[in-house]
Amino acid sequence: MSEKDDSGKGNIAAGATREAKVGAWWSAQAKRREREESPRLDWLCSPVVQEIISRKFSEEEEINWIGFVKKKLIDKPLDLGLSIGCGTGDLERDVVAHVICRKIEAVDIAEGALEIARRQASDLPIKYIQGDLETMNFPPNNYDIAFCSATLHHINKLDHCLSQIHNSLKKEGLFALFEYIGPSRFQWEPYQLRLVNDVYALLPEEYHLNRDSGIILASVTRPGIAFMIQNDPSEAVRAHDILEVADRYFETLYRIDLGGTLLNPLLGGICESFDDNDEMDSSFLRLVALLEESLTKAGFLSPCFVVMGYRRRENPLGGAETQREERERSETISRQEAEITSLCQRLSEAGTEVEKPLERLDEKKTRLEVLARAIEKQQLKNLELKKGFLFRVVRAARRILRGERLGEKVEENVQSPVCEGKTQAEAGESYVSPEVRAVKSCLGESGPDSEYLWLHWVRELIGTSSGKALLTPP
């Protein structure tokens, strides 16, 4: 088997290749879950759902799907088993606990998940190997049984992966499968999605808080394909094709439909909202499961999750032409993923280029706002100064100086027509400049007794003769 050494830590930059991106994504997910930072996001995390599924395996006892495999297929411990897409190793430890295999080898793409699995396994007879199931080869005629728990829906090159499992099994070798087989990329069927939202609408708004996104969602929707490819291009990539390809390499011994057609999209991200100890919450989930089961039996819905028991076919079905078509399909999907990734990258770069001038514009607007506030502040200060007595005095003095020059011109034009038809007092007022009238007004506000004091002050301050200031008593 082509493999990386158990001690290899392979620090690959996320996004460098599809393999690296998927490995980095699931390494991060595994480490986050180990720190118990991740809430229950998946329908299978619900104890009520686990109980419902358990009853599909046995009405008499509570067993999981590994216990069911042993009950249906295993008479005595097998020598060597294979687990593909092992994650953090729950399945392998369960297989050892059920004494199905004496030893087991397990493969996963995420080194971060394997680190946890190795630590949890301690001295159990489990060997963990890092590898990409899209490309790796297994040794032929090596294993008695292979296990797959929700892994094949992450595989694009299904024919390569399943043919390698087929080749690696001994004659009459067994293949135990727990898998999502619903719409690829979680692109729910219209009728399925309408039913899910009919049920979703019955829930109180506080149940609509999606713990994955952190927002309250008004309805259940299909995820964006570009978004999925950017985060984890392997997610449900060819889920709908799994059983078709598996049937070419393996004979079906049993099939258990688990449902999930309504409950899986319904509980995605909101499973944490349901209280395990609340009878109302538990009853609601049981009623949805009953509705789902009834519609599936009536043929209105197709199950999204199954447990399958297979035996290796001596001669795979199909042939060279079928393999060629399967290979072309996988290559088409790979090209589409690459094109979408490239377009998303270009869109991101274009967005960055657009943001740069916008950021500069925002900086200029901020500076202008600061300047405008400073100007406004200075204007307010200036206004306050202008209201002060000293500023009024100086301003009046300046007007007196200008009024002196204007007064001289007035004396040269004493016969100005502006005086015709006016009283002496009115005519005298006509010769006075606006500045001088402003001073008179100021004196009037100060009272008549202050007039001569004012003139004396002006003479002393600016050297202007009081006789040159044309003033009339108010």
**142: in domain:** yes
Indicate the SS3 state at residue 234. Answer: coil
**pLDDT of amino acid 8:** 37
- Non-local CB neighbours of 432 within 8 Å, separated by 6+ positions: 403, 407, 440, 470, 472
**% residues pLDDT > 70 (the chain):** 78
270 in the same domain as 410: no
User: Is residue 188 within 8 Å of 222, Cβ to Cβ?
Assistant: yes
**375: in domain:** no
- Non-local CB neighbours of 412 within 8 Å, separated by 6+ positions: none
396 in the same domain as 255: no
- pLDDT band per the 50, 70, 90 thresholds, residue 402: low
For 219-243, write each residue's pLDDT tens digit: 999 999 999 998 899 999 999 999 9
DSSP state for residue 4 in the 8-state scheme: B
Please state, in angstroms and as integers, the Cα–Cα distance from residue 118 to each residue in 3, 90, 130, 146, 364, following that order. Answer: 16, 11, 12, 19, 56
Burial of 348 (0-12, 13-18, 19+ CB in 10 A): exposed
The sign of the dihedral angle between the CA atoms of 383, 387, 390, 395 is positive
For 406-464, write each residue's pLDDT tens digit: 444 444 444 444 445 555 555 555 544 554 555 555 555 544 444 455 555 555 555 55
- pLDDT band per the 50, 70, 90 thresholds, residue 313: very high
User: Is residue 271 within 8 Å of 42, Cβ to Cβ?
Assistant: yes
414 in the same domain as 298: no
User: Is residue 168 within 8 Å of 141, Cβ to Cβ?
Assistant: yes
205 in the same domain as 76: yes
- pLDDT band per the 50, 70, 90 thresholds, residue 302: very high
User: Is residue 150 within 8 Å of 180, Cβ to Cβ?
Assistant: yes
410 in the same domain as 303: no
Region of 39 (left: φ > 0; alpha: ψ -120 to 50; beta: rest) is beta
Evaluate if residue 166 carries a pLDDT over 80. Answer: yes
Could you say which of 293, 317, 341 is where a domain stops? 317
- pLDDT band per the 50, 70, 90 thresholds, residue 348: confident
**pLDDT of amino acid 147:** 98
**HSE-up of residue 127 (Cα within 13 Å, Cβ side):** 14
**% residues pLDDT > 90 (the chain):** 58
Residues 9 and 246: their CA atoms lie apart, in Å, by: 33
- pLDDT band per the 50, 70, 90 thresholds, residue 352: confident
**89: in domain:** yes
437 in the same domain as 304: no
246 in the same domain as 122: yes
Evaluate if residue 79 carries a pLDDT over 90. Answer: yes
Evaluate if residue 93 carries a pLDDT over 50. Answer: yes
Could you say which of 297, 317, 337 is where a domain stops? 317
For 162-229, give the secondary structure using H, E and C. Answer: HHHHHHHEEEEEEEEEEEECCCHHHCCCHHHHHHHHHHHCCCCHHHHECCCCCCECCCCCCCCHHHHH
**The two three-digit tokens of residue 446, written as one number:** 């100060």
**153: in domain:** yes
Q: Which residues does residue 128 pair with via DSSP β-bridges, in sequence order? A: 106
**The two three-digit tokens of residue 14, written as one number:** 């996320």
**pLDDT of amino acid 297:** 95
- pLDDT band per the 50, 70, 90 thresholds, residue 365: confident
- pLDDT band per the 50, 70, 90 thresholds, residue 268: very high
239 in the same domain as 112: yes
**352: in domain:** no
200 in the same domain as 77: yes
Domain that holds residue 440: 389-468
**pLDDT of amino acid 146:** 98
74 in the same domain as 181: yes
Evaluate if residue 383 carries a pLDDT over 80. Answer: no
Specify the number of domains making up the chain.
2
For 108-136, write each residue's pLDDT tens digit: 999 999 999 999 999 999 999 999 999 99
Could you say which of 317, 340, 374 is where a domain stops? 317
- Non-local CB neighbours of 25 within 8 Å, separated by 6+ positions: 14, 110, 231, 232
In CATH, what number is assigned to the domain containing residue 248?
3.40.50.150
310 in the same domain as 175: yes
**pLDDT of amino acid 397:** 72
For 460-471, write each residue's pLDDT tens digit: 555 554 444 444
60 in the same domain as 146: yes
Specify the higher pLDDT residue, 328 or 31: 328
Please state, in angstroms and as integers, the Cα–Cα distance from residue 214 to each residue in 197, 211, 269, following that order. Answer: 19, 5, 9
Q: Work out whether strand 126-130 and strand 250-259 pair parallel, antiparallel, or are unpaired.
A: unpaired
**pLDDT of amino acid 244:** 96
- Non-local CB neighbours of 219 within 8 Å, separated by 6+ positions: 197, 200, 201
**pLDDT of amino acid 378:** 82
Instruction: Output 286-291 pairs: Cβ under 8 A, ≥24 positions apart.
Output: 286/48, 286/52, 288/199, 288/262, 288/263, 289/49, 289/52, 289/259, 289/263, 291/199, 291/262
- pLDDT band per the 50, 70, 90 thresholds, residue 173: very high
